[in-house]
Chain A
Amino acid sequence: MSSPVLSVRGLSKSFGALVVAQNIELDLMAGARVGLIGPNGAGKTTFVNLLTGFLRPDAGTIQLDGIAIEGMRPEDRVHRGLARTHQINTLLVEESARDNVAITIAEREKFAWRAIRYSPQWQQCLDEAQARLDEIGIGDVGDRQVRHLPYGKQRLLEIAIALALKPRVLLLDEPAAGVPSSETHVFHKVLDRLPAEIAILIIEHDMDVIFRFAKEIVVLVQGRVLTRGEPAQIAVDPQVRAVYLGRTVV
């Protein structure tokens, strides 16, 4: 059996007295589809921040392709193939949608230090950016300034940017958060079409999405992994129903 792309061991983090990650373990294989669920404040976003380097863990190791990355800066982790989306839109709002993606591609291709001779490379970035917007279904608004984009399209742009990094591990933090239910089918389609070989961890509150998309579900409560297993198992787990699903009803 092949080894995991991402491997997390004993990951712990506290904010003062508040424990937000406690001895978390996780392996993601290439092509994995893992759902991370848990009540609000369980530490799901914190976990993504720990993996991506925006927060430093108190203890534990994170390996990407067998290389320890827990001491690396976020940008170095990105160049090693770890990408994320944000629960709260984190976009360049004065730029067009296309430029948001083009700037990303320039970083990926290491063109972004070019200051004097760059025209063909930048044109490549723009062309690929447009293609990626088309692919995710917002190519028609490529020219629009992001601050004027409808919220749902901004959420899709978050995903397009992460995908433009050509990641091997993708962490999706509530990609459809705040999107009206009339639009969520767009996100379902996007999720279904994500490149098969990417290892994906998705945080999502919509149980329909999680149960459709994920092959494995990890339940996080107060920074601790309560349980994990296949969706069918999780759906009937009495512990899970008690702390989390009780109110959603499966």
Chain B
Amino acid sequence: MTNPSETQKAGGGLLAGMSPWALAGHALPWAIAIGFFFIAEGYLSFGTQIIIWILFALSLDLALGYAGIVTLGQAAFFGFGAYAAGWFSIHVSPDPILGHLFAIGLTAIVGLISGALILHTTGVTFLMLTLATVLIMFEYANQAKEITGGDDGLQGMKVGPIFGKYEFNLFGHTAYVYSLIVLFIWFVIMWRVVKSPFGRSLDGIRQNARRMRAIGTPVWWRLLAVYTLSAAMAGSAGALSAHATRFVGLSVLSLLTSGIVTVMLILGGTRRLYGAFVGAIVYFVVQDYTAKISPYFWEFIVGGMLIATVLFLEGGLMDLGGIARRQWERLTGKASKP
């Protein structure tokens, strides 16, 4: 018999009982992100954009990856958060943190209401309703020119210094660090949540909702809760985007935005936490490099990578790490750990 209290001690804290290799694995992405700040000065707004999309993709991972909510409506929340933060900065206060919290709260409410309206459906019906959510929001933003600026976008955002101290400067130092901190906070929350009993029940719902009802799970409420949290995260990413660029355009609410974030997540790998990181980075780097060759070429490359990933790597590019490790262990003759 195995001893559960030995194998399952990880419950103690997020890092408790972790092997040095796993710890290093967790430290690496953050070390890279911090290192980037010091060595890639000219690329900080590029880096900020990647961080924002990582957060956006993480929000999708929570709903799509963990809870199995097949949605293409995530842009609705990203866009709503961006407009909310932009509107707040113009009409209420230029304080970015207040605006950010405002955007998160309001987007969570939008997630709660729209989720309550559509989460009783499943499958294609649900998918269509999420698409409709984006389309309605887009058209509303297009029409409501006094609030959103219509297709000119939201002009005249005023973004004050963070804590009254750190100005959003031209080189994007502040935006980068601020976005990275926000991402880190969300990442820790999400990590904690997906390993929690609540998160485990989402795993259960994804695998077999009927089983979960048979053990007393209020499936609809759980899905509504995670949909709301996912919306809040996406709204947070949208708010970061608004503050970092001091502009919100209609494209944040387009179906393409939903599509891109889905591609990133699938590319990197769902339910891997870092899949969103890998996916967003690969997407942007490939785009940046190949777009110089031809504006169409990069879409071709990304499309090809997506096909290869879904056909051969069940867990996205993140699977490559595991495959490489197994190969390494085979070559060095080390048996993989039990």
Contacts and interface: CB of A to CB of B under 8 A. Distances in A.
A135 B255 CA distance: 53
B207 interface: yes
A139 to B, nearest CB: 5
Interface residues of B, number: 34
B210 interface: yes
A90 B214 contact: yes
A187 B215 CA distance: 22
A20 to B, nearest CB: 19
Interface in B1-53: 1-2, 4-5, 7-8, 11-13
Interface stretch (A8-16, A95-103, A220-228, A234-242): A95-103
Contact of B197 (A74, A114, A142): A114
B193 A165 contact: no
B5 A103 contact: no
Given A91-B208, A91-B211, A116-B192, A106 B8 contact: no
Interface in A99-142: 99, 102-104, 106-108, 111-116, 118-123, 125-127, 129-130, 134, 139-140, 142
A205 interface: no
Given A115-B192, A126-B8, A121 B197 contact: yes
Contact of B11 (A73, A83, A93, A123): A123
Given A52-B214, A78-B216, A92 B8 contact: no
A142 B4 contact: yes
B213 A118 contact: no
B217 interface: yes
Given A106-B197, A123-B11, A92 B216 contact: no
Nearest to B10: A119
Nearest to A99: B200
Interface size class of A (residues with CB under 8 A): 35 or more
Contact of B214 (A78, A121, A127): A78
A112 B225 CA distance: 12
Contacts of B219: 75
Interface in B175-229: 189, 192-193, 196-201, 203-204, 207-208, 210-219, 222, 225
A92 B208 contact: yes
Given A112-B217, A142-B2, A92 B203 contact: yes
Interface of B: 1-2, 4-5, 7-8, 11-13, 189, 192-193, 196-201, 203-204, 207-208, 210-219, 222, 225
Given A111-B197, A115-B198, A119-B13, 5 more contacts: A102-B200, A103-B200, A125-B197, A126-B5, A142-B4
Interface of A: 52, 54, 73-76, 78-79, 83-84, 86, 90-95, 98-99, 102-104, 106-108, 111-116, 118-123, 125-127, 129-130, 134, 139-140, 142-143, 161, 165
